[in-house]
Amino acid sequence: MLRRFRLVWVAAAMITVLSRVAVSQSVSISRSEDPSTDQLSIESICSVQTPDSAKAALQVVCQKEPPAYGASLASQTIVIGFVGGFASPHDVKHPEVLFAALLRQRYAPRLHAQVFSNHDRHKALRYVFGLLDANHDGVLSDEEKKSARIVIYGHSWGASETVAFARTLQHYSIPVLLTVQLDTVTKLGQQPSRIPSNVESAINFFQSEGFLRGRSEIFAADKARTEIIGNFRFRYVDNPINCDNYPWLARTFNKPHHEVENDPGVWNQIISLIESKISSRVDDLPGNIAMKNNEIVRPTTSQPGSGNPVSAIAQGR
């Protein structure tokens, strides 16, 4: 039995690696280009009735009106995303990449958003340090660290790296507003279920049907300092999500793992969470999220995958 389990795990891992590499090789943007220049416009991402699966995942986000406080935030917010597997952080076939581009334009110049490979933690750290170093003296003061407003999100190995990166920031005494994990697959040597105490709030979205199944639970290392918003299980048997941004092999053997990543309802919840965190005004926040662990969430039949499965989002503390 143990040997069979190992074979299944190895096969699933190979499928994920091959599918990630295949997608990245086919549509990745040149690394010489800086994605912060936003070659992707809001109009190109939010085109109506797009056949592109990654863009379709963000259509609900596109339909939301930017809040009035968006361009006049009290302090700068840094949003860091991590793609899964061996995907390129410039690969526009991943909603994580497009989401960061939307955030940069939606809240410029008070919000910075960048996506990294889950193997590029040091590059992400340099990026954060550069933004926090307000006086450009090459050293982060205690005041600069305390002023940090950081959100981290990721899918698969990127979700595992999300927690690892938050833990690295803890080492430097840098706080994190929010971590968002999408169908976490644990990277070797990491503990993605244990949320470090420098994180204010954390949420976990997962599914339990594919070869690769996301971790079903996250918990706070210090319950007094970290709010676990919830662990939300998604199910797509009756309302499948389009995953044409992945090769046939991945769609056939590992589709549920990618349906979470492509679910418009999930990204709608993520943007609502971020908006609640970057606003200090309680009256701007959407309704409370259902505080239930391992709740089974099904997309609505009216728009598969893009309903309001987790009734909009928790108030920040």
pLDDT digits (tens, 9 = 90+) for 224-245: 999 999 999 999 999 999 999 9
Nearest to 163, CA basis, from 180, 175, 150, 177 = 180
Contact 253, 25 (CB under 8 A): no
The span from the CA of 142 to the CA of 291, in Å, is 34
Nearest to 71, CA basis, from 257, 263, 309, 275 = 275
Scored b (16 or more CB within 10 A) or e, 168-195 reads bbbeeebbbbbbbbbbbbbbeebebbeb
The span from the CA of 211 to the CA of 208, in Å, is 9
Contact 64, 24 (CB under 8 A): no
Contact 18, 12 (CB under 8 A): no
Which residues of the chain are modeled with pLDDT < 70? 1-39, 48-50, 67-75, 280-317
pLDDT of residue 105: 87
Strand 176-182, strand 150-155: pairing: parallel
Q: How many CB atoms lie within 10 A of CB 135?
A: 10
pLDDT of residue 109: 80
HSE of 276, CA atoms in CB hemisphere, 13 A: 22
- Burial class from Cβ neighbours inside 10 Å (0-12, 13-18, 19+) for residue 110 reads middle
Contact 124, 165 (CB under 8 A): yes
Contact 206, 269 (CB under 8 A): no
Task: Please give the model's pTM, rounded to 2 decimal places.
Answer: 0.79
The span from the CA of 21 to the CA of 85, in Å, is 8
Nearest to 234, CA basis, from 158, 309, 155 = 309
